[in-house]
C-alpha cells in the first residue's frame, strides 16, 4: 500500500503488540527519575549516596518478594527475561551436574527460544534434553511431565503462558506431579517456569504455583526495558553465570540497575493489583475482535487453547499468505501487530510453536498475533476488524501475482 493511500485509524497507530513490549508506566518512570539524576550512586558504594541507592533497591526487592510470596533473599535482579531464563536453566543444570545428580532435563516443544536455545547450549556439555510434545492447543499434561522424570533428572522447565499463542499451562498441577514423582524417587527435582507473559493477568505466588525458579521481564508489564528478575527458592542448587563483584548475594555480579529495578518493582506491583480489571477489559476486546475477524474471514483459524489462554492474546492463521506480508500491510493501515514472537522476527521462519501443535505448514506461515492492552478502544477494535479482510485479500492477491 502506497503512502498516499495510508489510512489514519482512530486515535493514531493502534498498538496490538503488547506481548512483545509495553509502554513504560508513568508511575514507574516517576519512581525511576530520582535514581537517574540525584541518587545515581553505585549501590555498593560506602557513602551516603550509595546507601540511598542501595536502600531503594532493597525496598524494591522487598516489594517484589511480597508479590511472589517469597523471601527477599530469593529475588535476583537481572537485565531481562532472557538473562533470567539462561541463568535459571544453566545455573541449576551445571550445579546439579557438579553435585553428581545428573544431566537430564525435561521441557516442552513450545518453550520460548531463551529456554530451548539454552538447553541446546547445555547439550554441548553432555546434558540430555527431553522435549515433550504438546496437544493441538499447546498443552502438556502433568502426567507426561512426571513420567519423563528419571533418577538423573536435574531440572524441569515449563512455561507458565506461551508467548505466541497465549495458552496457559496447568502449572500448579504440573508442579504437584513433578514433586510427587521426585518424592517417589527419593529426591528433589527443581522446577522452573518462564512466567514472562503472565504478570498482567495471572498470580505469581510461587508457593501456589509450586515452582522453584521463576523468570520475569520488566518491559512486558509496563516496566523499563533491560530489567528482569529471577526467583530462586532457597536451597535450590545454583551456580552463578556472571562472576565479578559478587552482587546479588554472589548470584549475579555487576553493578545493579537501580532506577530499572525501582521502576520494574513499581510496574509489577501495579500490574498485579490490576489483574482482574486487565483480564476483564482485554478479554472483552479480544472476543470482540475475534468475532469480527471470524465473521469477515470465516477461514481464520484460532491458535492456542480456546479458553485456557491469556486474556489479551489473539493468535490466528490465514491460508495462502505469509504473516510477515500481512503485518506490513496492516502497518500501512496504522495497525501494529506481529507475525509471531518479536524476538525471532529478524530471522523469520514458521513458528516452532505452531508446528509443535500440529498446525499445517501452509497455515503456520500465515500467522498473526494481536496482543491487546486495556487502553485500546472499541472504536479501534472495530477499525482493525474493518480493515483486516481487505488486507488479507490484497496480500493474497500479491502472492498470486508473485508466482
Catalytic residues: 343
Residue among 158, 151, 269, 149 at smallest CA distance from 213: 158
**Within its chain, how far is the Cα of 25 from the centroid?**
18
Residue among 70, 85, 83, 102 at smallest CA distance from 189: 102
- 395's enclosing H/E stretch is helix 378-402
From residue 196, alpha-carbon distances to 111, 238, 251, 254 in Å are 11, 21, 20, 23
Determine contact, residues 169/160, Cβ cutoff 8 Å.
Answer: yes
- State the cell numbers at 28: 514507574
Strand positions, DSSP E, 104-202:
104-108, 128-132, 153-157, 191-194
- 214's enclosing H/E stretch is strand 213-217
Residues with Cβ within 8 Å of residue 251, at least 6 apart in sequence: 76, 87, 91, 232, 238, 240
How crowded is residue 353: how many other Cβ atoms within 10 Å of its Cβ?
A: 27
Give me the DSSP letters along 61-94: HHHHHHHHT--GGGEEEESSHHHHHHHHHHHHHH
- State the cell numbers at 151: 533418577
Query: Angle at CA 382, nearest 5°, toward 276 and 201?
Result: 15
Give me the DSSP letters along 300-358: -EE-S-SSSB-TTEEEEE-SSS-HHHHHHHHHHTTEE-BSS-GGGGGG----HHHHHTT
Determine contact, residues 138/353, Cβ cutoff 8 Å.
Answer: yes
Amino acid at each position: 500500500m502506497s503512502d498516499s493511500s495510508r489510512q489514519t485509524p482512530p486515535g493514531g497507530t493502534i498498538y496490538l503488540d503488547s506481548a512483545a513490549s509495553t509502554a513504560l508506566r508513568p508511575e514507574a518512570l516517576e519512581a525511576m527519575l530520582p535514581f537517574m539524576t540525584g541518587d545515581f550512586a553505585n549501590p555498593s558504594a560506602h557513602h551516603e549516596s550509595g546507601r540511598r541507592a542501595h536502600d531503594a533497591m532493597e525496598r524494591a526487592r522487598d516489594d517484589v518478594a511480597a508479590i511472589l510470596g517469597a523471601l527477599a533473599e530469593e529475588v535476583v535482579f537481572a537485565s531481562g527475561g532472557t538473562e533470567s531464563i539462561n541463568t535459571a536453566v544453566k545455573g541449576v543444570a551445571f550445579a546439579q551436574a557438579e553435585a553428581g545428580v545428573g544431566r537430564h532435563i525435561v521441557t516442552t516443544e513450545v518453550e520460548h527460544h531463551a529456554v530451548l536455545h539454552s538447553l541446546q547450549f547445555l547439550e554441548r556439555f553432555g546434558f540430555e534434553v527431553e522435549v515433550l510434545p504438546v496437544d493441538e492447543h499447546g498443552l502438556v499434561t502433568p502426567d507426561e511431565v512426571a513420567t519423563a522424570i528419571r533418577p538423573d533428572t536435574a531440572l524441569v522447565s515449563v512455561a507458565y503462558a506461551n508467548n505466541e499463542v497465549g495458552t496457559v499451562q496447568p502449572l500448579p498441577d504440573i508442579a504437584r506431579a513433578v514433586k510427587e514423582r521426585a518424592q517417589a524417587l527419593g529426591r528433589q527435582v527443581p522446577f522452573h517456569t518462564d512466567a514472562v507473559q503472565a504478570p498482567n493477568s495471572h498470580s505469581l505466588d510461587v508457593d501456589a504455583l509450586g515452582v522453584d525458579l521463576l523468570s520475569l521481564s520488566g518491559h512486558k508489564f509496563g516496566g523499563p526495558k533491560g530489567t528482569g528478575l529471577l526467583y530462586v527458592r532457597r536451597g535450590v542448587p545454583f551456580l552463578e553465570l556472571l562472576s565479578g563483584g559478587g552482587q546479588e548475594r554472589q548470584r549475579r555480579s555487576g553493578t545493579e540497575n537501580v532506577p530499572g529495578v525501582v521502576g520494574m518493582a513499581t510496574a509489577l506491583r501495579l500490574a498485579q493489583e490490576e489483574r482482574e480489571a486487565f483480564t476483564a477489559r482485554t478479554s472483552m476486546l479480544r472476543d470482540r475482535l475475534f468475532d469480527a475477524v471470524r465473521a469477515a474471514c470465516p477461514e481464520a483459524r484460532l491458535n492456542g487453547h480456546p479458553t485456557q489462554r491469556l486474556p489479551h492474546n489473539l493468535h490466528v492463521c490465514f491460508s495462502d499468505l505469509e504473516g510477515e506480508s500481512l503485518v506490513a500491510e496492516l502497518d500501512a493501515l496504522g495497525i501494529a501487530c506481529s507475525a509471531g514472537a518479536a524476538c525471532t522476527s529478524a530471522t523469520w521462519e514458521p513458528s516452532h510453536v505452531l508446528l509443535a501443535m500440529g498446525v499445517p505448514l501452509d497455515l503456520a506461515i500465515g500467522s498473526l498475533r494481536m496482543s491487546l492492552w486495556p487502553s485500546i478502544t472499541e472504536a479501534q477494535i472495530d477499525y482493525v476488524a474493518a480493515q483486516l479482510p481487505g488486507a488479507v485479500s490484497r496480500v493474497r492477491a500479491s502472492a498470486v501475482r508473485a508466482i
